Amino acid sequence: MSISEPTTTSVSISDYAASVEIPELLAPVGNFETFMAALDAGADAVYLGLKKFSARARAENFTLADLELITTFAHQRQVKVYVTLNTLIRHDELAEIYKTLSALVRIKVDAVIVQDLGLVNILRRDFTTLPIHLSTQLAIHNPAGANALATQGCERVVLGRELTLDEINLVAQKSSIELELFVYGALCVSVAGLCQFSSFFGGQSANRGRCSQPCRRPYSYQGKEGHFFSPADFSAIEFLPELVKAGISSCKIEGRMKGSQYVYVVISVFRRALDEIKKNGDLTPRSIKRYKDKLKEAYARPTTSANLSGRYPETIIEPKRAATIGVVVGKVRRANQEGGRREQWRVLLRSTKQLAAGDRLKVICQGKDGRDNSFTLKEGDFKVEKKRAGKGSGNIVSLVLPFTCRVDDLLVKVGSRDSYGRRGGMRIRKDIEDAVGLTEKSTSASPAVPYRPAQWLSQVTGDTALESEKIEQKPSWLIKLADMNAARPFLKRRGFKVALELNGQVGAMIAGRERDLFRRFPKLEWSLPPLHYPGRDVLMAEAVKRLTGVGFNRFHLNGIDQIELFQSSGGANSEFNLATGPFLHATNQAAVSFYVEKGFSSVHLSPEIDESTINSLKALPDTNLSLLVFGFLPLLLTRVPLPLDRRDRTFISSRREEIAAYKRDGLTALISETPFSLLKYITRLRNRDISCKIIDLTWVPASFDQRRFHNLHRFRLEDLNVSLYNFSKEWR
């Protein structure tokens, strides 16, 4: 049987192999061609996006009518369909979300994949028949995070791609929820869901599915240009037996913007590999090599196993290369410019590869990655000049190229038009319609759960009206810092509340001195960093226990996993004054309600949102809203070791944007050296429910003079170049 053919599980299996539960194989689908390729290749389930609320907004995606057709056909073939609603939701989109979810209930999709905790709130209250899967955009990375979401009625979480195999095993052993893991596809250098890079510099939010991939662009560093933030693609094929033994429920392939050949090749390989594990309990070295060779036909970048081994390989970032490499067709042996009205070159090379019209090729010149030298091969633009006998000798082939080419340049194949592409999406759609006996229907007439805005303006625990009770207080100022010495001047001044990040350096400085610190600064607040991987989460829990033990009760949380540190057996502990931080996104009223239910008394609105969204959100009874008005924003957080010099950490884009890299507690943060500031626009805000204004100096550059903020009544910022981020434009 060919590796690319759909396979079935063998019935002749050992006792050991029989006990192994093979995870679901989950395929990405962006159009009808890739949908059919996924099914034919042996996928157990597919995931896809609609025209809105998908983290791959630039993919072709599907209408509700398309989805109904696909779901009916997939279910006939015992394949599940998951719909991605994995973006952050604006408050003014909640009514549309209700209509969409009502349609998904009628169509009977198998699950929805979500990022927004407000959407989790909506699903568990008003759409209880829709299973909830949590997107990797929620950055779930430890057992506490997985279990916190299990208590909210969620069935599955997609773990972060930066975890080690040991960490995955620990989460699997200590969590009570299904775990899904990416096993192949493109990597983000950032921890998913914690990236503001594209949004800050281009107004295209990754949290809204519109990432413009600034990490793939070249940057200048120490006088050299390179792709310093562009990682290789991910492949877990050699770790697949260990992941199966860990109890992973689903093996997920990335690639909703990829073509049908990519989907067919990758799904076929992982189908065959999983079936071999089912039969034999393991993969042989020979099998792994064969699968790796076959995966090259997916035309991806060079692959890496990322952090699975417990250490990132040095090759995960190759500054001289960012684009897809593909399969080498041959090296140019002769190149001649041809006449005519447009520039074209005819090249001669020796190749063992088959070429066909519709193949996507590119030329890689010395020192380049071919990003700007791609073209589609047309009928008549290539021919075999001389056939050569002997295995591996290759034919002499000539091709016409639409741009300059030189001797010794490489010609690389990065895609092809397979049988699905030749049939086309419209023909495949028609074939599916004929197979299931459905015609296009409108879903707008289906019964819908009504959107009731008022339900998100009261406490979940009762029907208290918003206007009946609200914390009345003068707007306060909160300054957040990451260094104890920098915090001291602010702790001695009136008018500021101070929150100190509980990072490793601060934790070491205060260890054993917590009681004295509380005696001197009892109102000091503590901000917990967003990521505590297994091992570090224990250290954080111990540090929090020491602080609460001496009387500190004001904490800012930046991860869903951190809630358990402040809960008694009966739920949220009223002894604590909890606030959400910027990494717990709040962009709609349902999310605000979720946090209030979990015991938060203050909700930090996401720094990404625009003025209209800020003004649309309301405080609930016994809580307040906070807004960032000045800060140096972390564009992304990463575990990937970046090629950094200790003395120079500044990267410069082609647009002269300056980005600094800072290391802290095993992570690297990329920080814009242009601060975000709304200080001149505070009086313009119409939202009277914002009762706390935040100045965040957690990631302040070393060159920034924090004394600019020592006088509460006159900040010295006149000489600063600042950014309004998305405030004055629509958040997209």
Using alpha carbons, select from 555, 458, 463, 450 the residue that is nearest to residue 502: 555
Mean pLDDT calculated for residue range 310-327: 82
Residue whose token pair is 């093979």: 22
In the numeric block, which tokens belong to residue 693? 């204004």
CA–CA separation, 732 and 730 (whole Å): 6
pLDDT (0 to 100) of residue 575: 84
In the numeric block, which tokens belong to residue 289? 């090599």
Which ranges of 257-408 would DSSP assign to H, the alpha helix? 260-280, 285-295
CA–CA separation, 139 and 341 (whole Å): 53
pLDDT over threshold 80, residue 162: yes
Least confident of 80-84, 371-375, 420-424, 635-639: 371-375
Number of Cβ within a 10 Å radius of residue 239: 20
Which is higher by pLDDT, 11 or 331?
A: 331
Mean pLDDT calculated for residue range 623-644: 95
pLDDT over threshold 80, residue 443: no
- The CA angle 53-57-59, to the nearest 5 degrees, is 130
CA–CA separation, 256 and 55 (whole Å): 10
Least confident of 152-166, 402-416, 706-720: 402-416
Mean pLDDT calculated for residue range 545-573: 85
pLDDT (0 to 100) of residue 463: 42
Neighbour-count burial for 544-581, b at 16+ CB within 10 Å, e otherwise:
bebbbeeebbbbbbbbbbbbebbeeeeebeeebbbbbb
CA–CA separation, 729 and 721 (whole Å): 19
Instruction: Give me the amino acid identity at 424.
Output: G
Instruction: Give me the amino acid identity at 158.
Output: V
How high is the mean pLDDT of the chain?
A: 89
pLDDT over threshold 50, residue 12: no
Q: How confident is the model at residue 3 (pLDDT cuts 50, 70, 90)?
A: very low
Give the SS3 label for residue 436: helix
How far does Cα 592 stand from its chain's mean position?
22
pLDDT over threshold 80, residue 393: no
24-57, pLDDT tens digit by residue? 999 999 999 999 999 999 999 999 999 999 988 7
Neighbour-count burial for 596-617, b at 16+ CB within 10 Å, e otherwise:
bbbbbbbbbbbbbbbbebbbbb
Mean pLDDT calculated for residue range 679-693: 92
pLDDT (0 to 100) of residue 164: 98
pLDDT (0 to 100) of residue 10: 40
Mean pLDDT calculated for residue range 113-132: 97
Phi and psi at 132, nearest 5°, equal -110, 125
Cβ contacts of residue 698 below 8 Å, gap of 6+? 480, 481, 482, 501, 527, 631, 632
- DSSP per position, 10-54: -S---HHHHH--PPEEEEE-SSHHHHHHHHHHT-SEEEEEBSSS-
pLDDT (0 to 100) of residue 341: 53
pLDDT over threshold 80, residue 563: yes
Cα–Cα distances in Å, from 360 out to 270, 329, 355, 415? 24, 11, 10, 5
pLDDT (0 to 100) of residue 712: 86
Phi and psi at 19, nearest 5°, equal -85, -10
Using alpha carbons, select from 301, 250, 252 the residue that is nearest to residue 38: 252
Query: Among the ranges 291-295, 377-381, 388-392, which has the highest mean pLDDT value?
Result: 291-295
Q: How confident is the model at residue 626 (pLDDT cuts 50, 70, 90)?
A: very high
pLDDT over threshold 90, residue 13: no
| Cβ–Cβ < 8 Å for 689, 617 | yes
pLDDT (0 to 100) of residue 59: 77
pLDDT (0 to 100) of residue 442: 47
| Cβ–Cβ < 8 Å for 89, 121 | no
Cα–Cα distances in Å, from 93 out to 28, 393, 690? 26, 60, 21
What's the 3-state SS for 228-258? CCCECEEECHHHHHHHHHHCCCEEEECCCCC
Instruction: Provide the terminal-to-terminal Cα distance of the chain, rounded to the nearest Å.
Output: 48
pLDDT (0 to 100) of residue 574: 62
Which is higher by pLDDT, 128 or 472?
A: 128
Q: How confident is the model at residue 392 (pLDDT cuts 50, 70, 90)?
A: low
- Burial label for 77, CB within 10 Å (0-12, 13-18, 19+), is exposed
Mean pLDDT calculated for residue range 456-473: 52
Which is higher by pLDDT, 293 or 373?
A: 293
Which is higher by pLDDT, 127 or 358?
A: 127
| Cβ–Cβ < 8 Å for 533, 539 | no
Mean pLDDT calculated for residue range 386-398: 75
pLDDT (0 to 100) of residue 18: 59
pLDDT (0 to 100) of residue 9: 42
| Cβ–Cβ < 8 Å for 304, 641 | no
| Cβ–Cβ < 8 Å for 37, 267 | yes
Number of Cβ within a 10 Å radius of residue 22: 16
Which ranges of 640-701 would DSSP assign to H, the alpha helix? none
pLDDT > 70 fraction of the chain, expressed in percent and rounded: 90
Order the strands of the 360-364 sheet from edge to edge: 374-376, 360-364, 410-415, 327-338, 344-351, 395-401, 382-386
Mean pLDDT calculated for residue range 474-485: 91
Handedness of CA 199, 203, 209, 214 (dihedral sign): negative
pLDDT (0 to 100) of residue 466: 43
| Cβ–Cβ < 8 Å for 208, 250 | no
pLDDT (0 to 100) of residue 195: 97
Q: How confident is the model at residue 370 (pLDDT cuts 50, 70, 90)?
A: low
pLDDT (0 to 100) of residue 572: 45
pLDDT over threshold 60, residue 429: yes
CA–CA separation, 273 and 291 (whole Å): 8
355-369, pLDDT tens digit by residue? 888 888 888 876 666
In the numeric block, which tokens belong to residue 454? 């008022």
Q: How confident is the model at residue 213 (pLDDT cuts 50, 70, 90)?
A: very high
- The CA angle 12-275-232, to the nearest 5 degrees, is 160
Least confident of 522-531, 560-569, 682-691: 560-569
Which is higher by pLDDT, 671 or 368?
A: 671
List 571's β-bridge partners, or say none: 568
535: left (phi over 0), alpha (psi -120 to 50) or beta: left
49-73, pLDDT tens digit by residue? 999 999 887 778 899 999 999 999 9
pLDDT (0 to 100) of residue 319: 87
Give the SS3 label for residue 114: strand
Using alpha carbons, select from 52, 45, 42 the residue that is nearest to residue 6: 42
Least confident of 172-176, 202-206, 384-388, 598-602: 384-388
pLDDT (0 to 100) of residue 401: 84
Cα–Cα distances in Å, from 249 out to 21, 527, 567, 712? 9, 34, 29, 53
pLDDT (0 to 100) of residue 4: 38
